[in-house]
Structure 1
């Protein structure tokens, strides 16, 4: 509850003043444009809060002409169903985590390669960059138009119960939660045995011994109460994750230029406001884990270099095999930032 209040308070500055609401029974007219936006995050998640604030801003700036209807927690469609539904026009917009594209658009995985793109100043430059434009062009070829890039995380936490995971040798023999087939190459390179599974299933797997170690975003370790069953956590700038909002391009082309401008402006505001909100949530989460009794270690620069030397190349090699045409260009542009 405290976390939800924090999120709502942090997003208050983004949300524009709501227009007076007139009951339909009193003759209020329907909006000229409706944009249904589906996403997987629960209402208290930082992205859910930002997207709701985006909706309020669009409504206010358009004087009620455009209504963004946000459907959180897979209320409209499951995460895997969003892309085909938006592409065919079943609804207008959705949000996806970059690595959820998998083999459909493997270049999107470039953001999540370990230690490649986790510096905050570089992350701030990504929306509107040549790298973002390149990925947006690939999305366009998949029949969706990108609208916004919402910074999600740049810090992972590796949790354990027997002993802390500090050196690469500490991974040997560990059954650890993996993220996907691509980034799991980093874990097998240091002798771990990764097992990919949805985040909600990880706590039970750790408690039952199916897994020896966890891997998740720092704030997710709080929301899923890892401190109750994991003694140690190592926080590392291991990966970067973006959640992006995309729309149906035919629907977008049918909007008036001034309507497009209102939505674009609100989306750009959401991109900027998401960055400090995400950083604050991560810092608060780490403090809370420690307050709840978890021993948390911040990875040193030397440790990061050692992990990167062992983990990054196997993932890059796998990425280039997965995306032989667009992968080299995606890597080049991310490294330029």
Structure 2
């Protein structure tokens, strides 16, 4: 059968349209995740390491899936307001967040174990939770409530003060102190402080205006939110401390369950691979915060074991007691936390 010249020309004209249509179909099938967090933005190699971790996750997940799954990072709570990020995850309105879990303690009281004074006293103990009974129970509870725990991340704390050094509970009497969690606030009230509550991205303004005298937060936040510009003293926890903060990378279970199995596997593998990066960077910031505050002219103090024990003694009779009394489930979490040395 002879093909007419007109048909050949028509086929040739249609051919260039086919490739863009096919490419467009491939692009439509690709999915982009949105990752939100409250911390300052930077690059994959500089700035707040929590932002770096999110960007590394995005780069690696695109590589592992050959671009079928990508991610965009939204720092500074620019996509979703800080405290709303967990509820957005649960509803499937947000894909992922790097989030201090205790911020969601008002919705799920058990989560406050992640910022309970005196419970976790070293990085080794915190990361040992992952494979211990408490880690399994926490992971299961998160999934039940609509979130997948992708990357474990613990950070040591520190204390920045506008005036005198804060070393023992008596030092906070009469001062306006931001503890960072409900359980920290209970301990501080027990020590005689006036408690102020806010997410860490509001600390600078509060300290600058005198709304807050003392900020208790992670080493990285003490650096990223530039409190050295206002603080006169820093209490470092790089040797001993009385609190660690659990700030995992979380994903909406609704979104996770909608993905194909190979992408789910890639997400969990990439998430686990970033835990060493997070640990190394957190430890580095415990030293860096001292250098930053020294350079700014602040006086540096190192907490010792006897001082840390005094804070724990106050916590035992305040936050620990109130947390365990709240429910049998809370009491079980507290009990399991003490089984990890």
Q: TM-score range by the shorter chain?
A: 0.7 to 0.9
Structure 2 regions of 5+ residues with no counterpart?
1-19, 43-47
Q: Identify which of 319, 325, 328 aligns with 1:325.
A: 328
Contact 2:115–2:183 under 8 Å retained in 1: no
Q: CA deviation at 1:89?
A: 2.7
- TM-score of the aligned structures, taking structure 2 as reference length: 0.82
Count of residues paired in the alignment:
311
SS at match of 1:297: strand
Larger Rg: 2
Q: Deviations over 1:236-288 (max 9, x none)?
A: 41211122233333432333322221111101011222101111122111122
Distance 1:211-1:306 versus aligned 2 partners, 3 A rule: same
Q: CA deviation at 1:193?
A: 1.6
Match of 1:182 in 2: 183
Distance 1:310-1:182 versus aligned 2 partners, 3 A rule: closer
Structure 1 regions of 5+ residues with no counterpart?
1-23
Match of 1:194 in 2: 195
Q: CA deviation at 1:99?
A: 0.7
Match of 2:118 in 1: 115
Q: CA deviation at 1:52?
A: 0.8
SS at match of 1:154: strand
Match of 2:158 in 1: 156
Q: Identify which of 28, 32, 38 aligns with 1:40.
A: 38
Match of 1:133 in 2: 136
Distance 1:142-1:286 versus aligned 2 partners, 3 A rule: same
Contact 1:36–1:68 under 8 Å retained in 2: yes
Distance 1:43-1:301 versus aligned 2 partners, 3 A rule: same
Moved runs in structure 1, 4+ residues, more than 4 A? 24-28
SS at match of 1:126: helix
SS at match of 2:228: helix
Q: CA deviation at 1:100?
A: 0.7
Q: Identify which of 286, 305, 328 aligns with 1:301.
A: 305
Query: What is the alpha-carbon distance in structure 1 between the residues aligned to residue 121 and residue 176 of structure 2?
Result: 25
Aligned pairs for 1:116-265 within 5 A:
116-151=119-154, 153-161=155-163, 163-236=164-237, 237-265=241-269
Higher alpha-carbon deviation: 107-116 or 84-93: 84-93
Match of 1:278 in 2: 282
Contact 2:127–2:152 under 8 Å retained in 1: no
- TM-score of the aligned structures, taking structure 1 as reference length: 0.83
Contact 1:51–1:270 under 8 Å retained in 2: no
Aligned pairs for 1:56-135 within 5 A:
56-135=59-138
Distance 1:118-1:25 versus aligned 2 partners, 3 A rule: farther
Query: What is the alpha-carbon distance in structure 1 between the residues aligned to residue 225 and residue 87 of structure 2?
Result: 30
Contact 1:107–1:326 under 8 Å retained in 2: yes
Distance 1:333-1:234 versus aligned 2 partners, 3 A rule: same
RMSD: 2.5
Query: What is the alpha-carbon distance in structure 2 between the residues aligned to residue 241 and residue 70 of structure 1?
Result: 22
Distance 1:298-1:266 versus aligned 2 partners, 3 A rule: same
Contact 1:124–1:275 under 8 Å retained in 2: no
Q: Deviations over 1:79-120 (max 9, x none)?
A: 333333333333433332111112211111112111210212
Query: What is the alpha-carbon distance in structure 1 between the residues aligned to residue 191 and residue 216 of structure 2?
Result: 15
Q: CA deviation at 1:54?
A: 0.9
Q: CA deviation at 1:289?
A: 0.8
Distance 1:91-1:302 versus aligned 2 partners, 3 A rule: closer
Query: What is the alpha-carbon distance in structure 1 between the residues aligned to residue 97 and residue 112 of structure 2?
Result: 18
